[in-house]
Amino acid sequence: MAYNAQHFTENKHLGDDLNGIGGETATWATRFTRSQTVTSCSRATVALAGANIVILLHAYLENGERKYVQSYYGHVQDMLVRPGDLVKHGQQIATVGTANGRYFAHLHFEMREFLTPFIGAGYREDTRGWLNPTKFIEQHR
């Protein structure tokens, strides 16, 4: 099982930190621990895979309008995809890591409504453009 150890906006956090023993997969999210496989939360194109992060670009329809979001998988270890790859929901994209020993193993998971390769510290006061991953997933299952 897994749990959300630090929620979106808690301590100015820009995503969810997913920890636990074992893993579970929901329609738009996955939760894992060290050396376990990280899977895509939905069908997407790989925008970036490197520097302990995988960024996926997702297209979806909302009220008949095509929209885009990015999902960020941070602190990953082994990259199993490359930029430009098309991935399916549930496809293995990486393994959970420790950010080269800086943290206990966990997955930092962000959703962004703006498109950027920007990789930051994961904390900031202004969260405009970042989406609550749990709420977004629940609304788009």
Predicted confidence at residue 34, as pLDDT, reads: 47
Tell me, what's the pLDDT at 84? 97
* The pLDDT value given to residue 124: 78
pLDDT digits (tens, 9 = 90+) for 6-58: 777 777 878 888 775 443 333 333 444 445 788 898 999 999 999 889 999 99
Of residues 114 and 39, the one with the higher pLDDT is 39
Between 65 and 107, whose confidence is greater?
65
Per-residue model confidence as pLDDT tens digits over 55-68: 999 999 989 999 99
Give the pLDDT confidence score for residue 17 in this predicted structure.
82
Give which of 77, 73, 86, 81 is closest to 29, Cα–Cα: 73
**Measured between alpha carbons, how far is 50 from 2 in angstroms, rounded to an integer?**
25
Rounded to whole angstroms, how far apart are CA atoms 32 and 52?
A: 15
Residue ranges of domains in the chain, CATH in brackets: 2-117 (2.70.70.10)
